[in-house]
Chains A and B, each alone.
Chain A
Amino acid sequence: MRPRASIRSHLQDALPKIVLAPSFAITIVFVYGFILWTIYLSFTNSKTFPSYAITGARAYQRLWGWTFDTDPPSSWYTSITNMGIFGFLYILICLALGLFLAILLDQKIRGEGMLRPIYLYPMALSFIVTGVAWKWFLDPGLGLEQTLHQWGWSSFHFDWIKNKDFVIYTVVIAGVWQASGFIMAMFLAGLRGIDGEIMKAAQIDGATTFQLYRRIVIPLLRPIFLSAFIVLAHLAIKSYDLVVALTSGGPGGSAWLPSNFMYEYTFKRNEMAVGSASAVIMLMTIVAIIVPYLYSELREKPR
């Protein structure tokens, strides 16, 4: 019986590793392997198919040139400025709105159990569904504008989705609608985790509600801000389907994000090298934002 028990305990020890091994291997190959592969391709002159001879950084030179083509805006310039506008507003509004809703819901109100899923539900939809629904809602000939005209408010005018200068803000609206409920749930969980004793102590010390939130609650929610930021940042950077479903690229390609640029160039225009180069730049941008943030957060932990 003894050797059997030892095999068993060996197995038990090894089990987590065995179970994790496939996903680990898959991640290594399909995430990190292909990141390297993409970087490699960006230095070739790959067109329709990958070509393996390194030919230099021409793809990056072209992207660099396009970065300064502002009038008329090149597709790359449009993509990166849109990324800035969309990323900034999307993350900021989601965080602010999520926190605000969470604080309101945390006031021990009746029917919270019903309200919470209502706010959370949009997150269960795919970006495609969100995009199509908002496309109809914002379409001046079908949705909001048309309805208000029928109700008699004929001077109402809202055509952002058809306007090259404002179309990116409609992407922000749809994105915020989808994600802010989820961010609210994250903050709500954080608020529930705060020790009631601290709050009571502060109140006894005579802190106003505003001071209470400003000085105590929000600083305590710092880890939630980090998680929410990371969730939102990666959603923002990989937003592709939302743009396609909502605007099909916008008038004259004015709603493109870098992910749209990457897909267009790699798969539709057969400029795989340029597509890869743009993907590498996207990755570098994410790394530049996330790594210092993670580093500072993780370093402080042992304190």
Chain B
Amino acid sequence: MLRKLLIGTALATSFAFSAHAADVKEVQMLHWWTSGGEAAALNVLKQDLAKEGYAWKDVPVAGGGGDAAMTALKAMVAAGNYPTASQMLGYTVLDYAQAGVMGDLTETAKKEGWDKSVPAALQKFSVYDGKWVAAPVNVHSVNWLWINKAVMDKIGGTEPKTFDEFVALLDKAKAAGVIPLALGGQNWQEATMFDSVVLSTGGPEFYKKAMNDLDDASLKSDTMKKSFDNLAKLVTYVDPNFSGRDWNLATAMVIKGDALVQVMGDWAKGEFHAANKTPGTDFLCYRFPGTDGSVIYNSDMFGMFNVPEDRKAAQIALATATLSKSFQSAFNVVKGSVPARTDVPDTDFDACGKKGIADLKKANEGGTLFGSLAQGYGAPPAVANAYKDVVSKFVHGQIKTSDEAVTELVKAIDDAK
């Protein structure tokens, strides 16, 4: 009996050791990029790592979607079982860094020159307390218009440069019997559109003060009221059936020509590509009128956890590969976003991608690269969600006037701070 027990223990220990040995040459990655295009894009990274002898292991997340993944991550971290890295968004990285569970990539960052190549606005989220804790994968920008070119030609429209021109264009579409604006009535989509409206109405200075610094006076100002009025104006151009619609269905309306334009982040481009549409001939990408020169961004990051010493080599390999120019280019061409470093050549990108890269560079240099409040890069999640609540209630009529909206916005943000 005793002998059996001993043998059992010995076997178990040896298993544990061999499992441990495998761990060291393995990258454990928690992410929710499972759809076709995203998975293909991630495959590039897997192959890069395989060349260096590191195996890739997905941490399974039941249910898909970012929320399920974040819940799984919380449980793993609470149990002390850190993945090598996890896909993370904005303030989540800082939350985990504050809890002291993130690793330190500063040495690698110095060697690879990330300080200079990654936009400063992004470093706010990837660097905590002077230490690099995350590797940004891409930069999405949300102040885009996606327009069906055939419809645009039919109604004889041209690129709108100001908000009033935009309204005139929507009027033309309405007169031609097309749904002018494709919108999904879910709070994050409405708030994402409102980000652009605020930037367009108040300009870069105002956007920064109101949406990133959460300055009370700006949030209460007449400019903010004007922004809400402009949003109300836009909402008059959506079809009556918009409430609750998913974003990709709204994009499909533009692709099919049922609607003229969607205001959405550049992940919408992936839908156009999947439908075999080319920019310039089938669809057009313009900056939201009145926001040219500024970029409202959000970014996917790989947060790097404080793994045991023997797993650090794999982590460094992952981080280096993630921010390598070749991966940044290959991944973002597929994903629709632009590289998270400004020195990646734009040769492989389509027209919209090239414009995105140029805009990002310009915005980074000009200090007009701002975090999207709706996408959780302007303020912590509690505030961002309070903001989404107010915008959505305004769009759907629970909040009736822009005066009331501004009062509610200030109240909700103060409450959530």
Q: How far is the CA of A159 from the CA of B396 in the complex (A)?
A: 14
| B68 to chain A: closest residue by CB | A267
Q: How distant is A65 from chain B, measured CB to nearest CB, in Å?
A: 8
Given the interface contacts A267-B70, A269-B382, does A161 sit within 8 Å of B396 by beta carbon? no
Query: Provided the pairs A49-B99, A72-B404, A141-B241 are in contact, do residues A249 and B187 lie with their beta carbons within 8 angstroms?
Result: yes
Closest to A75 in B: B389
Task: Say which one of A10-18, A196-204, A250-258, A283-291 lies at the interface with B.
Answer: A250-258
Residues of B within 8 A of A62 (CB): 415
Q: Which of B70, B92, B241, B415 contacts A139 (CB 8 A)?
A: B241
Cα A249 to Cα B241 with chains together (Å): 16
- Whether B243 lies near A162 (C-beta < 8 A) is yes
Q: Is B24 an interface residue (CB 8 A)?
A: no
Complex CA distance for A302 and B157, rounded to whole angstroms: 82
- By a CB distance below 8 angstroms, the chain A residues around B415 are 62
B408 in contact (CB, < 8 A): yes
**If A49-B99, A248-B244, A250-B244 touch, does A267 touch B67 (CB 8 Å cutoff)?**
yes
B385 lies within 8 A of A251 (CB) = no
Chain B residue numbers with a CB within 8 Å of A251 are 185, 243-244, 392, 395-396
How many Å lie between the Cα of A253 and that of B185 in the bound state?
11
Q: How far is the CA of A250 from the CA of B394 in the complex (A)?
A: 14
B residues in contact with A117, CB < 8 Å? none
Which residues on A sit within 8 Å (CB–CB) of B242? 162
A269 CA to B413 CA, complexed, in Å? 12
CA distance A229 to B240 in the complex (A): 39
- Among B371-417, those with CB < 8 Å from A are 380-382, 385-386, 389, 392-400, 404, 408, 415-416
Contact of B398 with A49 in the complex, beta carbons under 8 Å: no
Contact partner of B380 (CB less than 8 A), chosen from A72, A159, A253, A270, is A270
Within 8 Å by CB of A253, from B67, B78, B392, lies B392
- Interchain pairs with CB closer than 8 A, number: 82
- Does residue A211 face the partner (Cβ distance < 8 Å to B)? no
Main secondary structure of the interface of A (DSSP, over half): loop
User: Quick check: B243 and A270 within 8 Å, CB to CB?
Assistant: no
Interface: B57 (CB within 8 A): no
Q: Per-residue CB proximity of B69-82 to A under 8 Å, as 1/0?
A: 01100100010000
Report B-chain residues with C-beta under 8 Å of the C-beta of A72: 393, 398-400, 404, 408
Which residue from B71, B382, B397 sits with its C-beta under 8 Å from A271? B382
Choose one: B243, B395, B398; the contact of A73 (CB below 8 Å): B398
| Distance from A162 Cβ to chain B, minimum over Cβ atoms (Å) | 4
- 0/1 per residue, B306-328, Cβ < 8 Å to A? 00000000000000000000000
CB <8 Å contact, B396 and A254 = yes
The interface size of chain A toward B, counting residues with CB under 8 Å, comes to: 28
Chain B residues whose CB sits within 8 angstroms of the CB of A108 once the complex forms:
none
Query: Would you call A164 an interface residue if the criterion is a C-beta within 8 Å of the partner chain's C-beta atoms?
Result: yes
B95 at the binding interface (Cβ < 8 Å): yes
Residues of chain B within 8 A (CB-CB) of A267 are 67, 70-71
**Most chain A CB inside 10 Å of its own CB: which residue of B70, B71, B397:** B397
Q: In the assembled complex, how far is the CB of residue A164 from the closest CB belonging to chain B, in whole angstroms?
A: 5
Q: Are A269 and B381 in contact (CB under 8 A)?
A: yes
Distance, CA A65 to CA B282, complexed state (A): 52
Report A-chain residues with C-beta under 8 Å of the C-beta of B396: 164, 251-252, 254
Closest Cβ–Cβ distance, residue B338 to chain A (whole Å): 27
Q: What B residues does A190 contact at CB under 8 A?
A: none
Complex contacts, A269 vs chain B, CB 8 Å:
381-382, 385-386, 416
CB distance from B87 to the nearest CB of A (A): 16
B244-A264 in contact (CB<8A): no
Contacts of A139 in B (CB 8 A): 241
A58 to chain B: closest CB distance in Å?
11
Say whether A154 faces chain B, with CB atoms less than 8 Å apart: no
List B contacts of A49 (CB < 8 A). Answer: 74, 78, 95, 99
Question: Cβ of B106 < 8 Å from any Cβ of A?
Answer: no
Q: Given the complex, which residues of B lie within 8 Å of A248, measured CB to CB?
A: 186, 244
A147 at the B interface (CB under 8 A): no
Point out the residue from A48, A73, A161, A271 that lies within 8 Å of B244, measured CB to CB: A161
Those of A1-31 within 8 Å (CB) of chain B:
none
Q: Find chain B residues with CB under 8 A from A141 CB.
A: 241
Identify which of B99, B186, B385, B397 contacts A164 (C-beta below 8 A).
B397
Inter-chain CA distance A47–B95, complex, in Å, is 9
Which residues of chain A are near B380, meaning CB under 8 Å? Answer: 270
In chain A, positions 133-162 with a C-beta closer than 8 Å to chain B are: 139-141, 159, 161-162
Is A110 in contact with chain B by the CB < 8 A criterion? no
A256 to chain B, nearest CB (A): 10
Contacts A159-B240, A247-B244 supplied; 16 other A-B pairs, CB < 8 Å: A47-B382, A48-B92, A49-B95, A72-B393, A72-B404, A73-B398, A141-B241, A162-B241, A162-B242, A251-B243, A252-B398, A253-B389, A253-B393, A269-B385, A270-B382, A271-B382
Cross-chain pairs A/B with CB under 8 angstroms, 14 sampled: A48-B96, A72-B398, A72-B408, A140-B241, A162-B244, A248-B244, A250-B244, A251-B243, A252-B398, A253-B393, A254-B396, A268-B67, A269-B382, A270-B381
The 9 closest A-B pairs by CB, nearest first: A252-B396, A251-B396, A252-B393, A141-B241, A162-B243, A251-B243, A252-B392, A48-B95, A72-B399
* A→B interface (CB under 8 Å): 47-49, 62, 72-73, 75, 139-141, 159, 161-162, 164, 247-254, 264, 267-271
